[in-house]
Amino acid sequence: MPHPLFDQHRPMLDRAVEAIRTRGFWTPFPEQPSPKVYGETAQADGKAAYEALLGRDFALDQPGQTGWIAPERSPYGVALDVRYPVCTPQALIDAATVAMPAWRKVGADGRVGICLEIVQRIHQRSFEIAHAVMFTSGQSWGMAFQAGGPHAQDRALEAIAYAWDAMSAVPNEAGWEKPMGKNPPLAMRKHYEITGRGVALVIGCSTFPTWNTYPGLFAALATGNPVIVKPHPNAVLPAAISVRIAREVLAEQGLDPNLVTLAISADPADTQQLATHPAVKSIDFTGGNAFGQWLRQHATQAALYAELAGVNNVLIDSTDDYPAMLKNLAFTLSLYSGQMCTTTQAILVPADGIGTPTGRVGFDQVAADLGATVEQLLASPSTAFALLGAINSEATLARIAQAPQWGRVVLASKRLEHPEFPDAQVHTPVLLACDAADETAYMEERFGPIAFVVKVADTAAGIALSERLVREKGALTVGLYATDDAVIDAMTEATLRAGVALSINLTSGVYVNQSAAFSDYHGTGANPAANASYSDTAFVANRFRVIQRRWHVAPPVAAAA
């Protein structure tokens, strides 16, 4: 008999599986925080629930607790002071290991049903979680609700759908008969059981604490693995709320809540201890190259799913709508102050300019027009604050200050005074111009609102440089503006060789740094920025194993006679 929660959520699961196969638009989670959709009091109730967590202990009743820690600093300059339990790594590992056998016995349908229930409960808390995302990550309210709420929930459901698609291909039992000529056939019964590989560690980032955490969490959990969630110290609250919801659902189902635990500590050695523990068999990590490379070198006992730094780039050869192209690029550079793993950093422009319907526009003019478009886009304070959010870290603020040394300043960054949060670190993008030879400037990730217009010899040189950037530095996104099919074909081949997604001639309401769950393949696993695609069966398939048992049975009566 299927698990009751599996039956309850089966229609949504079936639609999700259909969506990952057809790759069209679909979501069960509305992205607009409309009172007509979520209720007249949803916004106020969510804010009140979030505020009720501030300045208090966030109790989780986890094993091995040794104290409390309140590490978060809000980019909006407001006090959070939420205190989280500090637990010894070994206690969390031991508890997860003890909880794992019962989780295996629930079966694939039971695990998937319970995971879907957790996602539904998370969805019901979207407004609360959105406030937590906003004030820890620095995202604006609109982005925090969408990316931290429904879009992150889409990614959770996407991972569960891939997990179910992979696991459902394995039958529970099979009969096996081998003909033996005149003698009775050999007959056996075989049973196949899916089991997780071991403890999963999910290491979150500070900028997208749910969007980048949910895929690994639910891919691992659905496939039979207990999960330890280790959030970034400056963005704990969204993950902590999610972990608490998961533990509540697990306990309601008579399961050990320590299948999902929260690991938070002031000592980086604790994370290293978790990552290299023999019981940890998978690690999901989004963050900087230094720790990502450390994981690759030291956490060799675990399968690593890592999304690291890269140099995303766009090549402009020509366009049939120059103003729309500039507006699209300006939005891309401004959204969340460029603090996205998919945001364009290097904009490659031929030295003799680009083709437009009104004639060629020179390199310097393209750079100046893009800077003016960014400035115009952010001229309205309400638009600026809705797009930019706040700067997440002191390191990003330092990079903004250092930026003028890396090129000619086309557009200087300005700090904006937020009317509601006077201590918020809100800064407009800085746009620099440089030559392709100035590789030390643009050929490493400058995370944040920093972009380069890079002068290349010609379009062919731009295609070659784009490919080289992806191969050597990694990238999650590449863009192209071109009206010549031969140029599009050449860039397509270059991105196929380098292993990166390509967006062509985006001039409307879709931007190169946006990724749609169920449709877009986020990451390819084919260049240094990510060692896996986060939107395919391979993301879940290596997280479980099939263990069989078999035994002889009597051959069919007719055959035996």
Residue 12 lies in a domain: no
Q: C-alpha angle with apex 254: 93 to 84, nearest 5 degrees?
A: 45
Overall average pLDDT of the 52-67 stretch: 97
Domain of 287, in residue numbers = 36-308
| Cβ count within 10 A of residue 559 | 14
Q: DSSP letter for 253, please.
A: T
Residue 21 lies in a domain: no
Helix (H, G, I), strand (E, B) or coil at 288: coil
| pLDDT (tens digit per residue) in 510-554 | 999 999 999 999 999 999 998 888 999 999 999 999 999 999 999
Overall average pLDDT of the 186-194 stretch: 96
Nearest CA among 19, 13, 10 for reference residue 518: 19
Question: Residue 57: pLDDT above 70?
Answer: yes
Say if residues 155 and 518 touch (Cβ distance below 8 Å): no
The Cα 98–Cα 200 span in angstroms is 14
Q: For residue 72, what are the CA distances in angstroms to 64, 80, 129?
A: 22, 7, 15
- State whether 330 and 225 are in the same domain: no
Name residues whose C-beta falls within 8 Å of residue 379's C-beta, 6 or more positions apart in sequence: none
Confidence of residue 384 (pLDDT cuts 50, 70, 90): very high
- State whether 297 and 332 are in the same domain: no
- State whether 289 and 421 are in the same domain: no
- State whether 184 and 220 are in the same domain: yes
What is the number of structural domains in the chain? 2
- State whether 276 and 338 are in the same domain: no
- State whether 349 and 424 are in the same domain: yes
Residue 254 lies in a domain: yes
Overall average pLDDT of the 451-474 stretch: 98
Residue 519 lies in a domain: no
Overall average pLDDT of the 446-460 stretch: 98
Residue 556 lies in a domain: no
Question: Residue 3: pLDDT above 70?
Answer: yes
- State whether 327 and 299 are in the same domain: no
- State whether 234 and 137 are in the same domain: yes
Final residue of a structural domain among 278, 308, 338: 308
Residue 549 lies in a domain: no
Final residue of a structural domain among 254, 280, 308: 308
Residue 14 lies in a domain: no
Q: For residue 211, what are the CA distances in angstroms to 158, 239, 371, 431?
A: 12, 10, 30, 28
Torsion angle of C-alpha atoms 315, 316, 321, 327, degrees rounded to 10: 60
CATH code for position 52: 3.40.605.10
Question: Residue 560: pLDDT above 70?
Answer: no
- State whether 304 and 324 are in the same domain: no
- State whether 118 and 161 are in the same domain: yes
| pLDDT (tens digit per residue) in 269-286 | 999 999 999 999 999 999
How many residues does this entry show for the chain? 561
| pLDDT (tens digit per residue) in 203-216 | 999 999 999 999 99
> Where on the phi/psi map is residue 545: left (φ > 0), alpha (ψ -120 to 50), or beta?
beta
- State whether 299 and 318 are in the same domain: no
Overall average pLDDT of the 387-392 stretch: 97
Overall average pLDDT of the 103-125 stretch: 98
Confidence of residue 561 (pLDDT cuts 50, 70, 90): very low
CATH code for position 421: 3.40.309.10
Confidence of residue 482 (pLDDT cuts 50, 70, 90): very high
Confidence of residue 558 (pLDDT cuts 50, 70, 90): low
The Cα 142–Cα 31 span in angstroms is 9
Residue 44 lies in a domain: yes
- State whether 249 and 339 are in the same domain: no
Final residue of a structural domain among 504, 532, 548: 504
The reported pLDDT for the residue numbered 555 is 86
